[in-house]
Amino acid sequence: MDKQHTTRQKLLDTALSLIWSSSYGNVTVDDICKAGGISKSSFYHFFKSKSELAVAAYQSHWEKAASDYNRIFSALVAPLDRLRNYCAYIEHNMQQGIQKTGKMPGCPYSLVGAELSLVDETMRQQVQTMFGGIVRFIEQALRDAQHEGSIDPSIDPHTMAEDLYSFILGLLLQSKVRNDVNLLHRLEPTIMAMIGAKTSTPAN
């Protein structure tokens, strides 16, 4: 990995970390450069603005997370286990955030999306793309679950996938506001109830 690529990636990782732990509005270019040990001239060599960096940082994060989602939602995994494993994945990520900062980090996509959706169209579209990708993973798991007869056959998979993701984001927000990761224990049982799961066998 060459030095320029390393510097650019450092900017992406630092920006995401600072914005996620604070907010887009509270983080400055100076903050990012200082935390990353990178000169301001190097920052502007790669990005025209903080906004451009933020969009690239979240796109980079999504590309890295895609491998996790492909593993969690693999067609080789039973449909309901995909959803259970996704719940465990969310809780694990939040626990890691608490270990680093002492606070519940919340969903990185919804936080920046809510903050910037009315003022930065590029970021709004980026967050919408990430939301849509996750919903599609959930939807496919629901379709496969219906096919095997393990959930309510009357639900619409697309609508339910959107509803489930809305619930997940809402519970993440509550957990962040209360700084209580234990609220996430509700994820799996509530999701299983919402889809009329016909088995409660835990994932291995």
pTM of this structure: 0.86
Mean residue pLDDT of the chain comes to 90
Domain ranges of the chain: 55-194
Contact 147, 75 (CB under 8 A): no
Between 32-41, 55-64, 92-101, 106-115, the lowest mean confidence (pLDDT) is in 106-115
Q: State both tokens at 33.
A: 């450069």
Q: Which runs of E-coded beta strand occur in the chain? A: none
Sign of the alpha-carbon torsion through 54, 187, 76, 128: negative
The pLDDT assigned to 113 comes to: 82
CA-closest candidate to residue 12, choices 57, 61, 64, 65: 57
Q: State both tokens at 51.
A: 């906004």
Contacts of 179 (CB under 8 A, 6+ apart): 103, 104
In angstroms, the CA 21 to CA 100 distance is 10
The confidence band for 101, taking pLDDT boundaries of 50, 70 and 90, is: confident
Sign of the alpha-carbon torsion through 132, 136, 137, 141: positive
The pLDDT assigned to 174 comes to: 94
Between 74-83, 154-163, 173-182, the lowest mean confidence (pLDDT) is in 173-182
In angstroms, the CA 102 to CA 150 distance is 39
Residue 128: CA atoms inside 13 Å, Cβ hemisphere, count?
9
Q: What is the pLDDT of residues 125-137, one digit of tens each?
A: 888 888 999 999 9
- Average pLDDT, integer, range 177-184: 94
Question: What fold characterizes domain 55-194?
Answer: Tetracycline Repressor; domain 2 (1.10.357)
Contact 112, 24 (CB under 8 A): yes
Q: State both tokens at 31.
A: 């903050």
Between 29-43, 69-83, 94-108, 183-197, the lowest mean confidence (pLDDT) is in 94-108
The pLDDT assigned to 144 comes to: 98
